[in-house]
Homo-oligomer: A and B are copies of this chain.
Amino acid sequence: MYALGDWRRTHYSSEVNSEMDGQEIIIMGWNHSIRKLGKLVFIILRDREGTIQIVAPKQKVSEETFATAKSLGKEDVMAIKGKVVANEKAPAGFEVIPIEIKILNKADTPLPLDPSEKVSADIDTRLDKRFLDLRRPKIQSLFKLRSEVLKSIRNTFHDNGFIDVDTPKLVASATEGGTELFPISYFDKEAFLGQSPQLYKQMMMAAGFDRVFEIGPIFRAEEHNTRRHLNEAISIDCEMSFADEKDAMEILEKVINNAFTDIYNNNQKELQTLGIDLKVQETPFPRIEYTEAVDMVNAKGVEMEWGEDFSRPAEAALGEMMDGFYFITDWPTEIRPFYTLPNEDNPKLCKAFDLMYKDLEISSGAQRNHKYDLLVEGIKRMGLNPEGFGTYLEAFKYGMPPHSGWGVGIERLMMIMACQQNIRECVLFPRDRQRLTP
C-alpha cells in the first residue's frame, strides 16, 4: 500500500473513450465520489484533466479489488488498472472495470473543504485550505489559462525581438518614492524589496539590449486592502529602445490580442468549465486623451479637476461609457512618474499612457525621459534626491537611447479574461494586508 511501484499512468481521464473498448489502462487520481449499491460500487476518479467512471460489480472483479473499492473514502488517492468497456447507458458511453486498485494515500475525514462541492465557502476559508480549493475543476481551469496566457505573452515577446531578463528583487535604496517598500535586513545592511523593475529595465536600455522583457514578482507595502490590489504580484514588464510611446502601445496591443486569441483557439475546454464566452477584442484599441477623459467623467456627473488622477468613481464613470480595452493618453506631466518624457511642444503634457479595461487599470507605460538634465530636474520636482539614484542616473550620462515601455499585472489581466471580481481568485497563494499564509 502507498507505493507506486512500476505502475505508471497510461491515460488521463480525458484521453479514454468508448472506442478503446477492451483496452487495459492505468488511471490515477482522487476519489471524487463513490456510491455503493450492495454488489456494485461506482467510483468517479478525478484527475487534472477531468473525471472518469469506474464500475466494480462484485461478480466481475476479484474479492480483493471489490473490498478495496468499497473501502475508498472521499479524496483518497488511487491508481486503477482496469479495462475499458463500452456501455451506451453510461454517461460517457463507457466505463472502466477495475482489475486492480492501489490506494496511494488516504484522506482524513471530515474534509475541511469538499472539492466535489460547488464553490460556496467564503474566500478566506477557501484560501486557508487552498490545496483543497484548488482541486475544483473551475479553480484549476483559471490557473491553466494563466499558464497558457504567460506562454502566449512570452512567445509574443520572443517573436518581436525581446530578450528575457531577470533583474534583482533585493535593492539598496527606496529611490522611486511614492509607494511604500518592504524593508529587509540584508546581513549588516538595510535593503528593500523591489516594487518594480523600472529602473533596471531602463538600465538595460543603456546596456544596449534594445528590447527586454521580465516577468517576475513585485512587492508593494501598500496599506489598502481592496479587491484590486495585492502586496505581492507578478508583473509583466517590457522596455524598448529607439521607440516612442506609440510603439510601446502597439506591442502591448499585440501581447494582449495574441493572448486572447491563443486562449480562444486552444483553451475552449477551460473557458467552458469557467462558463466564459471569451471575446477577442480587435486592435487597435480606442485612444482617449486624458483631457477628453476628464470631460467625459464630468459630463457623467462625477466631478474632477484637470490635473487630478482618476478616482474610483471617475474610473467607474469611464467604465460605463467605454466597453473593453482602451488607452488614456497625453497625461499631465505632474501626475506621472519622474521618468516620463514631457511632450516637446507642450511640456505640461507627457508621453504617458494607461491601458484600461472598462473601469480597471491594466497597464501604465510611457516614453521615458532619456536626457540626463531633464531627468534630474524631474527627480527634484518630485521632491526626491538625485544622489539616491546612483548608477541609474549614471546610465543616462554615457549614451542612453530614447526608450519606452510598460508594465502589466498578470493578476489583473486574469481578472478580465476569467471574469473575476476579486484579484485574490487569480493568485494561487495571495498576499494581502492580513494574509501571509499559507
Q: How far is the CB of A281 from chain B (nearest CB, A)?
A: 24
Q: How far is the CB of A184 from chain B (nearest CB, A)?
A: 5
Given the known interface contacts A143-B163, A184-B193, A399-B75, the answer about A242 and B9 at a Cβ–Cβ threshold of 8 Å is yes
Q: What mask results when residues 391 to 424 of chain A are scored 1 for a CB within 8 Å of chain B, else 0?
A: 1101111111110000000000000000000000
Binds B, one of A56-64, A132-140, A376-384: A132-140
Q: How far is the CB of A398 from chain B (nearest CB, A)?
A: 5
- Whether the pair B208, A47 counts as a contact (CB closer than 8 A) is yes
Answer yes or no: A255 CB below 8 A from chain B CBs: no
Residues of B within 8 A of A392 (CB): 438
Q: What mask results when residues 96 to 115 of chain A are scored 1 for a CB within 8 Å of chain B, else 0?
A: 00000000111110011001
- Whether the pair B436, A131 counts as a contact (CB closer than 8 A) is no
Answer yes or no: A306 CB below 8 A from chain B CBs: no
Q: Which residues A1-17 have CB closer than 8 A to chain B?
A: 2-4, 8-9
Q: How far is the CA of A152 from the CA of B209 in the complex (A)?
A: 20
Q: How far is the CA of A221 from the CA of B185 in the complex (A)?
A: 10
Residues of B within 8 A of A189 (CB): 436
- Whether the pair A76, B399 counts as a contact (CB closer than 8 A) is yes
Tell me the nearest residue of chain B to A211, going by C-beta.
B48
- Whether the pair B8, A206 counts as a contact (CB closer than 8 A) is no
- Whether the pair A143, B131 counts as a contact (CB closer than 8 A) is no
- Whether the pair B164, A150 counts as a contact (CB closer than 8 A) is yes
Residues of B within 8 A of A3 (CB): 344, 402
Q: How far is the CA of A46 from the CA of B391 in the complex (A)?
A: 22
Q: Can you list 30 A-B contacts with CB-CB less than 8 angstroms, sorted by A residue number?
A: A2-B402, A4-B243, A8-B247, A9-B242, A76-B399, A77-B399, A77-B401, A77-B402, A104-B402, A115-B208, A129-B391, A129-B394, A131-B204, A134-B207, A151-B164, A154-B154, A165-B428, A166-B234, A166-B428, A168-B428, A169-B169, A169-B217, A170-B182, A170-B232, A170-B436, A171-B436, A183-B184, A186-B436, A187-B223, A187-B433
Residues of B within 8 A of A46 (CB): 208
Q: How far is the CA of A430 from the CA of B28 in the complex (A)?
A: 43
Answer yes or no: A371 CB below 8 A from chain B CBs: yes
- Whether the pair B433, A209 counts as a contact (CB closer than 8 A) is no
Residues of B within 8 A of A129 (CB): 391, 394
**How many interface residues does A have (CB within 8 Å)?**
103
Tell me the nearest residue of chain B to A107, going by C-beta.
B399
Tell me the nearest residue of chain B to A194, going by C-beta.
B217
Answer yes or no: A254 CB below 8 A from chain B CBs: no
- Whether the pair B170, A208 counts as a contact (CB closer than 8 A) is no
Q: Which residues A134-186 have CB closer than 8 A to chain B?
A: 134-135, 140, 143-144, 146-147, 150-151, 154, 158, 163-172, 182-186
Contact of A438 among B30, B79, B147, B390 (CB under 8 A): B390
Contact of A401 among B104, B200, B371 (CB under 8 A): B104
Answer yes or no: A325 CB below 8 A from chain B CBs: no
Residues of B within 8 A of A428 (CB): 165-168, 200, 204
